Amino acid sequence: MAASLEQVRQSIANYDMVIRDKKHRPTEQNEGKKKRGASKRHSNLRLTVSVGVVDSSDGGSFEQLIKLADRALYKAKAGGRNRLAFA
């Protein structure tokens, strides 16, 4: 599971999102599909994610698992963001 989550985290961090204003946004969906990834980019945005992970097989109520995952998320953010942290 950790390897899969790490792969998702890295894919998000390495993906260049293209920001276009309304003037440059295609009105038709098929036209938009053709233009995605084109070189006429106005600006790029990189996102990162931090993920708090808890193993539900250890038991506990839904609320307890959410609290543990939330603590793990804040642990990931405190550790520098853009990472996984496990409860």
Q: pTM score, two decimals?
A: 0.67
Above 70 in pLDDT, residue 86? yes
Tens digits of residue pLDDT in 38-67: 545 457 788 999 999 999 997 899 999 999
The ranges assigned to domains in the chain are 1-47, 50-87
Render pLDDT for 3-22 as a digit per residue (tens, 0 to 9).
Answer: 999 999 999 999 988 776 66
Report which DSSP code applies to 18: E
Inform me whether the pLDDT recorded for 25 exceeds 80: no
Q: How far apart are the first and last CA of the chain?
A: 14
Residue with the bigger pLDDT between 85 and 30: it is 85
The pLDDT score that the predictor gives to residue 44 is 77
